[in-house]
Structure 1
Amino acid sequence: MREPLYKTRRVAPEAAGFNERCSRVNDFIVMTEACSNVYLIETPEGGILINSGMGFEAPVIHHNLKRFSNVPVKYLITTQGHVDHVGGVQYFRDQYPGLRYIATAENEEHQNYDARLQPFRGARSAFRFQDDFIQVFTKYAQAGYTDINAQDRPTPDITFEQRHEFSLGGLELVLLAVPGAETNDSLIVWLPQHDTIFTGNLFGCAFGHFPNLVTIRGDRYRDALTCAAAAQTVMDLKPQRLLYGHHEPIDGADIIKAELTAYRDAVVYVHDEVVKGMNAGKDLHTLQQEITLPPQCEVGQGYGKVSWGVRAIWENYAGWFKHESTTELYSVPQKSVHTELVRLAGAQQLIASAREKRDAGRLEEALHLLDIVLSAEPENAEAKLLSVQVHQTLLADAADFAHTGNFWLTGWLENQIKLLQGGETAPLSFK
């Protein structure tokens, strides 16, 4: 009987640290963990680098890889166009003159999309990463690394539409363009002589978990059936070893097949249940509460969540208008009447009602009431304190959720507690 892999594996990514989490996978592959893993494939004629990390990490990644290999790098492949994959490309170009960068033909569109929204996403991502990066840069400074390398926005030397094959030093590589759970420019690297596959974040950050079909930091929707098809593409290759975007490799054809089958079936099941519910006239919130995974396709929810996936599928099909209120079609938000509600009902009465709901375990209802009070009276100390307590209860529940907690939800709740207690969150910038 299958024991889901997510119960024994890490979820959260970490930025690269000097001499940390870097190791040899086998006699020709070296791996260093970073915001997204970087792999060096060695051949007698030179090396192939898969991904380059964030710009600020690139010198640390290079240092770590050099502990294990001095092979000159000839090619650099990025498995997707996200900033934590492409940021270090120029740094490695500088280290290895003549290096050729390979990506899919969709890479330029994705980098343009990311760059277009950099200020927006920097502000929206800070709640999860700001404190972590402060610790990273403190460690870098302690190691004497203070002249931080810039973030790159590179142009590939070689692009392809669907498939690209080449060989180096007797090693055959097959690159396949496979849109997946994070970007439309994703690719996989297949080593047919070794039954080894590099998938990057094709299935999301954490392997064995439900994908983030939309991120709470702000991103465009990812299509559920596209995610399922990506899993099938990898399964059809029958890999014996899978090296993905974060943490240690997965070894064994049977466990890889079992995990990808569960992932594929989980995504398809949720998709089909949402469609069924939509056609039956059920509202979104009812479906979010009703749809759960059957035991045979249990996966973790440490990065994406089923309830979030339900909403993403619904809105990817039907858009933002829920047919619940005429006000959805106009620009004035509900919070515009919060001050009036507080005047009519009284802040103390609303807080008392919120406390009753908190005590009854109806935490989300309690937050709805407290949001009204704090919208009208942002410095109401009693409402703030009760909101902190509700967030702390939600955080304890989230941290214990399905063995792993959820990377994004726990980060959001922790940051909300910090803000309610008077802290600040500055936008991220890696220019």
Structure 2
Amino acid sequence: MTDQERRSDDRLKVAELVKSGEGQAAAIERAPGIWESRGVGNSYLVTTPQGDVLVNAGTLADARRGRELFAQVSSHPVRYIVLTQSHANQYGGLEVYKTSENTVIAHRTYAEDRANAEALSAHYRRGSRRIFGTITGSTEAMIPTREVPPDLLIDDQGHAFDLGGRRFEIIWTPGGETRSAVIVWLPQEKIAIVGNLFGPLFGNHPNLNTLRGDKPRSALQFINSVMTLRALGPELVLTGHEAISGVDNIRREISRIIDSVQWVHDRTVEGMNAGVDLRTLMREIQTPLELTLTEEYGKVAWNVRAIWHEYTGWFDPARGTTELYGVPPSSVAPAIAELAGGADRLVERARIFVAEEKPLEALHMLDVALAAEPGSALGRLVKREALELLLRQTGGKNLWERMSIAAELRELDAPAT
């Protein structure tokens, strides 16, 4: 691992949470009989005298570790496994826990989610490795060696069962990270196990359209799903990475999340109706101080863009007619470089932008220069300067942004093609 890769996730809470299972020696009891194994996605074992319920299997590597941790606290068989969504950090370790004696439960759209993910597996895994490869480890540690299909697919009205004196209610929350997202509600204890309904961080802006490549998520569905959780009045919320406690604290923070995302949604729609272009809205929409959420995982500007595309699709009139065709801007890069007196002239101008602390303008210029002359050593050097300046200016506070810039820096070391 290079120094850049080691630095790329320093002091980011998400990265710390994802890695927090490494070296975990004992399961954590979050409430009486509710045990946590940490990892890329946490797993929870709810114990009862008649058998246990596992909420999420984790990745394959997480499950292998988690099974040993859970064995220290319960000798009962796992009777049910509930998957809160269809990402590998929920289903990857199913084969470790699955037996003929237990029932795997997921929402009816889980099968479609999994089919779509497999149809685009090379694309999705390439994007995930690019962004998260240095955090989550190898693909082999994430995904199963064999597919374990659910035994029971529940409908949109949800599902409930009792086991060993405990009541379990499974509630569909399609505004989570996948359409098949559900939460597990324990009404007697007022505990909600919500997986990644909020993403990996509670109190953060949701990531409505990930940089790794994934189906976009709906802002209003997210809001409605979080409102469903709020209506339950939980006293403890167990997410895919965190434990949030206190009924008043939870209600207050959930309400702030709802109001903040609604505010961004409404300002975006207002701007669209007023004829404001997308990039202007991305720059100008900022939440009021009382609705400010952290932006380590999602960002306001990116959610503005996601909401715009959710309602109006991929065509942006501000980018002109060429958006309708498959001829990219890079096709005219050689001609522009020729008119400028060569790609090096463009690179020199980009370096001036860097000196003026305008890294994005520099990167726009370098896109042209390096499309015209991909092997330009000077161009690559100045691009590195621009990216490092951009990272300093943004403060490296957003995981996706920081990891994406780190990936571009790594790619500069690859031979030009």
With the length of structure 1 as denominator, give the TM-score of the two structures. 0.88
Match of 2:339, SS state, is helix
- Taking a change above 3 Å as real, the CA distance of residues 84 and 135 of structure 1, as seen in their structure-2 partners, is closer
- Judge which range, 364-373 or 316-325, deviates more: 316-325
In 2, distance between residues paired with 1:236 and 1:337? 56
Q: For 1:369, which of 360, 365, 368 is the aligned residue?
A: 365
Q: Residue type matched to 2:40 in 1?
A: C
Taking the TM superposition and a 5 Å limit, the aligned residue runs for 1:145-294 are 150-161=144-155, 162-246=157-241, 248-294=242-288
Q: For 1:383, which of 379, 398, 403 is the aligned residue?
A: 379
Aligned equivalent of 2:408: 416
Match of 1:221, SS state, is coil
- Taking a change above 3 Å as real, the CA distance of residues 135 and 179 of structure 1, as seen in their structure-2 partners, is closer
Match of 2:81, SS state, is strand
- Taking a change above 3 Å as real, the CA distance of residues 9 and 418 of structure 1, as seen in their structure-2 partners, is closer
Displacement after TM superposition at 1:153 (Å): 3.0
Q: Residue type matched to 2:405 in 1?
A: L
In 2, distance between residues paired with 1:333 and 1:384? 21
Q: Which runs of 5+ in 1 are unaligned?
A: 1-7, 141-147, 425-431
In 2, distance between residues paired with 1:152 and 1:129? 23
Taking the TM superposition and a 5 Å limit, the aligned residue runs for 1:110-121 are 110-121=113-124
Q: Deviation per CA, 1:391-420, whole angstroms, max 9, x where unpaired?
A: 1122233345xxxx1111111111111211
In 2, distance between residues paired with 1:134 and 1:42? 30
- The answer as to 2:256 corresponding to 1:296 is no
Per chain length, whose mean CA-contact separation is higher, i.e. which structure has more relative contact order (CA < 8 Å, sep 6+)? 1
In 1, distance between residues paired with 2:371 and 2:201? 36
- Taking a change above 3 Å as real, the CA distance of residues 396 and 51 of structure 1, as seen in their structure-2 partners, is same
Aligned equivalent of 1:315: 309
In 1, distance between residues paired with 2:69 and 2:245? 23
Q: For 1:86, which of 71, 87, 91 is the aligned residue?
A: 91
In 1, distance between residues paired with 2:150 and 2:230? 28
CA contact (8 A) 1:181 1:212 kept: no
Displacement after TM superposition at 1:134 (Å): 4.6
User: Percent identity of the aligned residues?
Assistant: 35
With the length of structure 2 as denominator, give the TM-score of the two structures. 0.91
Q: Deviation per CA, 1:45-75, whole angstroms, max 9, x where unpaired?
A: 1110000012243212212222333232111
Displacement after TM superposition at 1:421 (Å): 2.8
Aligned equivalent of 2:29: 24
Q: State the superposition RMSD in angstroms.
A: 2.1
Aligned equivalent of 1:46: 51
Match of 1:174, SS state, is strand
- Taking a change above 3 Å as real, the CA distance of residues 269 and 377 of structure 1, as seen in their structure-2 partners, is same
Q: Residue type matched to 1:420 in 2?
A: L
Displacement after TM superposition at 1:23 (Å): 1.5
CA contact (8 A) 2:59 2:93 kept: yes
Match of 1:259, SS state, is helix
- The answer as to 2:108 corresponding to 1:67 is no
Match of 2:208, SS state, is coil
Displacement after TM superposition at 1:149 (Å): 8.2
Q: Which runs of 5+ in 2 are unaligned?
A: 1-10
Count of aligned pairs between the two proteins: 401
- The answer as to 2:39 corresponding to 1:34 is yes
CA contact (8 A) 1:395 1:414 kept: no
Q: For 1:332, which of 316, 327, 330 is the aligned residue?
A: 327
Displacement after TM superposition at 1:261 (Å): 0.9
In 2, distance between residues paired with 1:21 and 1:390? 45
- Judge which range, 28-37 or 150-159, deviates more: 150-159
